[in-house]
Structure 1
């Protein structure tokens, strides 16, 4: 299978993370970051140049395209993936040495799934989760990706964790990561919304604004009274619309984190 390399030169750092998130939604499968430069990789048969042109015009970016046959994605991400330490939690790959003096260590093989801790949204979700009491709770990880948040919820003491995603590759990757962390009791399901997944004390959703807004009513129905809804995948500019939708859906903002252009919002369900 042939791949395309899309190079973005002279890209400001504040735009780089936003671009990665948007390209991920357009089937781009890998990224290589360099100072003032970003390289993005996509299967040739999934490339939509018209959609890319619309995005780059909106963001005022230029790009160049070249063809790359037979990309070895394991080599690509292994060469770029470094361990991440967030509070008392460390994320590393299996080829890294164990990290000392850390309470929660998670081993992941990210491949094409989202959730390595490097991105601001995953970083803040992990940071905020460590400030929440997960002991004996039931948890839904909505859009699990690599499964990293589900794994951390389990390690933080959750009694039951359900992880869902609508992407078959993410389901496969999450299952592999659960096994790598010797966890066999997380319930992993293929699903594209929160409907009929059960009743939960905590819902985690690190996904896009539109999907979050579409599922607020279901989040409310499935959270216990006083339950917590932790959200990211959101830009600062999304805060107002998300908060309005949350309040109208029976939630109250409890805490906010910011990192770069991204935010992480913790809501509690009204009793």
Structure 2
């Protein structure tokens, strides 16, 4: 892992919103793994083995004349990325109960103190989708529940679910670095009953969950929702994010086909998190 080379894109964006959110979503579809937002725009990272010089060809926001987007790129070794996010990573507070912070931040007085060293993984709480999913977890009862965190990234959602009393938590991500990083963060937060796995929804097998959390992009969600429905217990709850408010009808239509009924959603900067019940 230490010899992995990433390509770092430094995007300078004017005005930043909603351009930054749109660009992050499109880059994620193109294969970029991680993002750091800063005062000028975003830093975006992709493994050099997944990169090619036409990687930005399909990014549509570059054609939008309402935004000015310039970029530069360079190669960066994985171990050097820590210095980058330490310069940009501020602690995130969710409501009055939860703080997501790095190991070098002071310990807070909040009820839930989550220490995350994200490295190349997605899920620090900075992005709207992660923040809203954390809020959903805070607002619901997880005591004694079996939970799946699909597309777990840093493991932050699984960790909060465990802190809220979940009896069993599976955290699954297809990316090897996310898998390794989540295991580190689970250990860092003393959540020994979180089972971190590397793979996709094919790993679910016959396991049934009270609650499924999935913060992934729209297309993967549409593909995997039938698998989630199979894996939910009666009266189970499905929390989804990673898409925009205008995508809710499409996501909800797929859920209705599988007897998953829309209950509520929250929205932040046009990103949404949605709750469905089985």
TM-score where L is the length of structure 2: 0.89
Pairs within 5 Å for 1:167-206: 167-193=175-201, 195-196=204-205, 198-206=207-215
1:10 corresponds to: 14
Match of 1:154 among 162, 167, 172: 162
Contact kept? 1:4, 1:44, Cα under 8 Å: no
Q: Secondary structure at the match of 1:13?
A: coil
Once the two structures are TM-superposed, the CA of residue 112 in structure 1 deviates from its matched residue by: 1.1
Once the two structures are TM-superposed, the CA of residue 238 in structure 1 deviates from its matched residue by: 0.9
Once the two structures are TM-superposed, the CA of residue 158 in structure 1 deviates from its matched residue by: 0.7
Measure, in 1, the Cα distance between the counterparts of 2:188 and 2:266: 30
1:52 corresponds to: 56
Once the two structures are superposed, residues 59-98 of structure 1 have per-residue CA deviations (whole angstroms, 9 ceiling, x without a partner) of: 5264333435657201000110010110211100111110
What is the RMSD computed on CA atoms of the aligned residues? 2.1
Distance 1:210 1:66, change over 3 A: closer
Any gaps of 5 or more consecutive residues in structure 2?
none
1:212 maps to 2:228: no
1:239 corresponds to: 248
Once the two structures are TM-superposed, the CA of residue 251 in structure 1 deviates from its matched residue by: 0.7
TM-score where L is the length of structure 1: 0.91
Measure, in 1, the Cα distance between the counterparts of 2:149 and 2:225: 14
1:110 maps to 2:95: no
1:94 maps to 2:103: yes
Match of 1:65 among 72, 84, 94: 72
Distance 1:65 1:189, change over 3 A: same
2:44 corresponds to: 40
Contact kept? 1:30, 1:40, Cα under 8 Å: yes
Measure, in 1, the Cα distance between the counterparts of 2:33 and 2:174: 16
Q: Secondary structure at the match of 2:272?
A: strand
Match of 1:76 among 76, 84, 93: 84
Once the two structures are TM-superposed, the CA of residue 136 in structure 1 deviates from its matched residue by: 0.9
Measure, in 2, the Cα distance between the counterparts of 1:109 and 1:226: 35
- Name which of structure 1's ranges 50-59 and 102-111 shifts more when overlaid on structure 2: 50-59
2:234 corresponds to: 225
Measure, in 1, the Cα distance between the counterparts of 2:139 and 2:193: 23
Contact kept? 2:216, 2:241, Cα under 8 Å: yes
Measure, in 1, the Cα distance between the counterparts of 2:47 and 2:121: 15
